[in-house]
Structure 1
Amino acid sequence: MFVPATMFVQWYPVLGVKHVDPGRAHPVQLLGKNLVVWRNKEGRWSCFDDRCPHRAAPLTEGRIEDDGSLLCAYHAWRFDADGKCLSIPQSDRGGKDEAQPKACAKVYPTQVAQDIIWVWAENGPDAGLESALTPPHLLPELDDEEGLASGRVVPQGVQHTDLAYGWDTMIENLVDPSHVPCAHHGVAGDRYKDVRPIDLEPDKEWPVTATVLVENADDAGELKMTLYGVPTKPGWCRLVGRQAYVHKYAPKSKEAKALRKENKRLGKKPSELMVAASIMSKIPQWLMHASAGIFLYQDMVLLHHQDKTLASVGHDGNSTSSYGKAVYTPAPADRAVMAVRKWIATHGSGGPAWDKDCDPTLPEREHKREVLFDYYEGHTKTCSTCLRALKNINKLLAASKTATAVSCTWGLLRGARAVSTPTAVGSRSASVVNAVTARAILPAVALTLASLGAVKVLEKLRGLYYTYSFHHQDNP
């Protein structure tokens, strides 16, 4: 098997194939490179440098044409999936200009595996061979056709989010389980009850490149979560996640029935992991994506400022000693973090090998929380599933607001009519008038309250696609 010269000559996951519009060109950043990912009419995904070879206009502004080519919006040059120039409308040399190597787009090897679009990080002369000999890091269970067919393997969807801190800080965070009940208090633990020493001892094959595998198991099966850290640009990274629940036995098998019967006899409660997996498999992806920010952004403000603080004291990722001088890591749970830092310094070239045209300067510290917690920029705008959900929510929201206005008006009209009825007019008792009016407007009031409730719920749901407002001091 071909072994990459560095950890950065490898496959990187960039998008979930089910959450991107195949009829559009998509911007992607990887190692400081600006790229465009798109699909032709035959269903093949390709990745180019996001610049037309003609005058360097961004191909992400281009169109996917009816013939399956990518058209540059500036001068209508067309390219096929291999980057070959198909048409230069301004040329009158009978295809000679299109045949020149300079007319070709710069292509990066691309593949789709386990519902994820993967891009090889380099496009040199050996990229095709190297990428063909190097498999991406996948969950083997998701390729188990028998397990998937029997229901023993329950796959979950793909999630991607851009985060305002560096790739190394992300990997460090992912291998640190001790932070979970603290930073995610109330969501995934209790900072006052669940914090305890955790003895982590990395084995010889861990950590592996930019992939972190999290496993939780019980006697019924295990929940596997693969988290991919993608270095996009200095001070930023993309988290791509995929998970699956793997039952010990296929749910309808004799073995599974026997296990359930035995557990019932012993009075054992159903597996919490199995219950969680069952619930998660029924939640639509648009709602899973909308709620992902609740968890991810609780870390955001901590890791963003950690990134800037370490840089300000001189740590640049090139040595473990500089990191050790900048922090104090005495707990057993810190061993994994230190192993990551040592591995990056020793085998990972000290950090991402940014593109030669990329400015490696770390962005300024961001103090505005609404900017750090901007989920629309970090995820929604690049996810067709969420954009479609957001469009539907806006339609429902508009309809609910209209229903509120209509039902309120209807209630006023019914109330006025009730007051003017003979029963109310002829009565000397205010209680009679009030009772008649109340009976008349009750349906309208109920409809108004229901539509107002719908407006409130939809506005809350809509907000999840834009900004997640959070402060740890306000989380009791």
Structure 2
Amino acid sequence: MTTEASLEGDRRNTREKEELFQWAKQWYPVAVVDFLDPSRPHALQLLGKDIVLWRDGSGKWRCFEDFCPHRLAPLSEGRVESDGTLMCAYHAWRFNSEGSCVSIPQSKDKQTEAKHLSNQKSCAVVYPTQECQGLLWVWAEAGTQAQLESQQRTPRIIPELRDNSDRAVQLFWNVRDLPYGWDFFMENVSDPAHVPVSHHGLVGNRYQDAKYYDMIKVREISTQEGFSFEIIPTAANIEQAVHDFQPPCHMRIVSTSKDGSKLILALYATPTRPGWCRHIGCQVLVKNEAGKIPKGLGIFGLPMPIWLGHVLASLFLHQDLVFLHYQEKILGKQRNDKWLKAVYTPNPQDKMVIAFRQWLEQRAGGSIAWDSRSSSELPAKELDKQKLFDVWTTHTQNCKVCQDALKNINRLTVFAYGAAIACFCLGVILDARSLAIKVALTTLEQTNASFLTVIPPAVVWWAFAGAFLFATGGYLLKKLSRLFYVYEFEHARND
């Protein structure tokens, strides 16, 4: 019996190795629903395909390929109409939630229009979508068969939010387009050794916390289910720390404290186009039996407005970004098909990184299966640090929460500078007025002396102090608003 079970296990492993991972037949998280503006369409890429997200009249988010069947104008430059249709703003063709064209205003008459609308070529290309745990998921294949296949699989959700909702506390979602590939993102989060070094000052100390540990395989490599590793030894207050890769896009990092509480980092990365990926992530804090909640990750576990968490995320993400962007370009320049031949990994801390690269090479075709109509070439290395560390394009312009916060900060900045000018002018007027009164009440013989020795009243000093405080506040708000556009980082200056 044992021999038969062993043989069956070997046969299953052989079948899995022969079956390559199907990149297009998967659910991918593409956006946080609460961060999307429902009044307009949103352009995005998925596996090299140009797609557009929009919300229909029933309140459901839809995904079309981003071109109008008429003359291939981008639907993302169109409009979401009050009747719940998506209009191409080039010739006003309109599409319903199923992708069917419902209006061609240039038609000769209703009969002709109906004939044109019944033609399958007038339809938009539709991808299956669903909302789950606050994320918008898109199935990466279109068509009738894709609709059926997508219903047979569930997205890589966070089970604690589904099963232990009374004990699980989810912190805010973060989303960011990153200028390096999906594989380098997954490689990076498979590597705990970099954390205290790369994130020195935020999470750990590069001089004190870069220590030896081993990574023990918890779950064997599987084409569909990925693999997981446990870190040994862990920190003194941690009972167990497990990294769990769930293809195509999810890395779960679960740290279980000795008191039974858990910190879960749910990290998603969606391959958008070569050299880029979209990261979506959050922290989940799971209380222990006594109701005690664990600490979050550094400052990001503190209570704060969502927009502030998004702004501060640059402090963390950009510390890795500068490495991963250039790493990818260096590897691409070497044109080495075998990752292991290009690197030197003598320590056990790299076991999970190696396992990930083995999964990609042996189980998933060696690279992402980009859309055949798109280029698979990597973009050039970005030498302009302001462009490399851009925040506006990679986040703010796509996040309704941050756009609203930025508008409010800009209003406060104008108010602060205006109030500073008003206070300063008021101080000058009050000072001049008090001086004039003093002079008027002084005898002619004392005029010159009084003019030089008059001390402004307290209200004048309060006005000038107010001007200084408002001006300082305006300056700080201006500095804060810059973080919505760019945040440059240099490790050489991170002491």
Normalised by the size of structure 2, how large is the TM-score? 0.86
**1:250-261 superposed matches below 5 A:** 255-256=290-291
> C-alpha distance in 2, partners of 1:470/1:430?
57
Maintained 8 Å contact 1:156/1:281:
no
Aligned-residue offset at 1:438: 5.1
> C-alpha distance in 1, partners of 2:351/2:326?
22
Give, as a single letter, the amino acid of the residue that structure 1 aligns with 2:335.
G
Maintained 8 Å contact 2:176/2:394:
yes
Aligned-residue offset at 1:305: 0.5
1:7 and 1:408, CA in 2 relative to 1: closer, same or farther beyond 3 A?
same
Maintained 8 Å contact 1:419/1:433:
no
Give, as a single letter, the amino acid of the residue that structure 1 aligns with 2:350.
D
1:162 and 1:415, CA in 2 relative to 1: closer, same or farther beyond 3 A?
same
1:17 and 1:342, CA in 2 relative to 1: closer, same or farther beyond 3 A?
same
Aligned-residue offset at 1:440: 3.9
Give, as a single letter, the amino acid of the residue that structure 2 aligns with 1:67.
D
Aligned residue for 2:181? 166
> C-alpha distance in 2, partners of 1:300/1:425?
69
Mapped pair 1:18 → 2:34: yes
Give, as a single letter, the amino acid of the residue that structure 2 aligns with 1:292.
A
1:434 and 1:375, CA in 2 relative to 1: closer, same or farther beyond 3 A?
farther
Mapped pair 1:213 → 2:252: yes
Q: Structure 1, unaligned stretches of length 5 or more?
A: 250-254, 261-270, 317-321
> C-alpha distance in 2, partners of 1:73/1:123?
24
Mapped pair 1:239 → 2:255: no
Mapped pair 1:298 → 2:315: no
Percent identical residues: 41
> C-alpha distance in 1, partners of 2:202/2:296?
17
Aligned residue for 2:486? 467
Maintained 8 Å contact 2:36/2:400:
yes
User: Once structures 1 and 2 are overlaid, which stretch shifts more, 456-465 or 71-80?
Assistant: 456-465
> C-alpha distance in 1, partners of 2:172/2:22?
30
Maintained 8 Å contact 2:295/2:301:
no
1:276 and 1:370, CA in 2 relative to 1: closer, same or farther beyond 3 A?
closer
Aligned residue for 2:335? 314
Aligned residue for 2:127? 108
> C-alpha distance in 1, partners of 2:407/2:97?
31
Maintained 8 Å contact 1:404/1:447:
yes
Maintained 8 Å contact 1:220/1:274:
no
Aligned residue for 1:6? 22
Give, as a single letter, the amino acid of the residue that structure 2 aligns with 1:68.
G
Maintained 8 Å contact 1:424/1:432:
no
Aligned residue for 1:419? 435
> C-alpha distance in 2, partners of 1:275/1:359?
40
DSSP-derived class of the 2:426 partner: helix
Mapped pair 1:199 → 2:220: no
Aligned residue for 1:120? 139
- Equivalences, count: 446
1:275 and 1:371, CA in 2 relative to 1: closer, same or farther beyond 3 A?
closer
Aligned-residue offset at 1:4: 8.9
Give, as a single letter, the amino acid of the residue that structure 1 aligns with 2:343.
V
> C-alpha distance in 2, partners of 1:408/1:101?
69
Mapped pair 1:449 → 2:465: no
Mapped pair 1:342 → 2:358: yes
Aligned-residue offset at 1:421: 2.1
Aligned-residue offset at 1:429: 9.5
Aligned-residue offset at 1:424: 8.6
DSSP-derived class of the 2:62 partner: strand
> C-alpha distance in 2, partners of 1:288/1:278?
9
Aligned-residue offset at 1:277: 9.7
Aligned residue for 1:405? 421
Q: Which among 377, 383, 388 is matched to residue 367 of structure 1?
A: 383
Aligned residue for 1:252? none
Maintained 8 Å contact 2:48/2:374:
yes
DSSP-derived class of the 2:157 partner: coil
DSSP-derived class of the 2:171 partner: strand
> C-alpha distance in 2, partners of 1:344/1:201?
20
DSSP-derived class of the 1:212 partner: strand
DSSP-derived class of the 1:200 partner: strand
> C-alpha distance in 2, partners of 1:183/1:235?
21
Give, as a single letter, the amino acid of the residue that structure 1 aligns with 2:67.
R
1:214 and 1:396, CA in 2 relative to 1: closer, same or farther beyond 3 A?
same
> C-alpha distance in 1, partners of 2:37/2:329?
35
CA RMSD of aligned residues (A): 2.2
Mapped pair 1:83 → 2:99: yes
DSSP-derived class of the 2:28 partner: strand
Could you list the per-position Cα deviations for residues 341-399 of structure 1 after superposition, in whole angstroms to 9, with x for gaps in the alignment?
00001112111111111111111111110000001111000011111111111111111
Maintained 8 Å contact 1:424/1:436:
no
Aligned residue for 1:32? 48
> C-alpha distance in 2, partners of 1:154/1:277?
16
Aligned-residue offset at 1:404: 1.2
Could you list the per-position Cα deviations for residues 238-261 of structure 1 after superposition, in whole angstroms to 9, with x for gaps in the alignment?
111132111013xxxxx44xxx7x
Give, as a single letter, the amino acid of the residue that structure 2 aligns with 1:177.
P
Aligned-residue offset at 1:220: 5.0
Aligned residue for 1:324? 340
Q: Structure 2, unaligned stretches of length 5 or more?
A: 1-18, 221-226, 229-244
1:97 and 1:74, CA in 2 relative to 1: closer, same or farther beyond 3 A?
same
> C-alpha distance in 2, partners of 1:114/1:440?
56
1:455 and 1:467, CA in 2 relative to 1: closer, same or farther beyond 3 A?
same
> C-alpha distance in 1, partners of 2:83/2:48?
31
Q: Which among 295, 309, 331 is matched to residue 288 of structure 1?
A: 309
Give, as a single letter, the amino acid of the residue that structure 2 aligns with 1:245.
L
> C-alpha distance in 2, partners of 1:299/1:277?
16
Give, as a single letter, the amino acid of the residue that structure 2 aligns with 1:369.
K
Aligned-residue offset at 1:83: 0.3
Aligned residue for 2:11? none
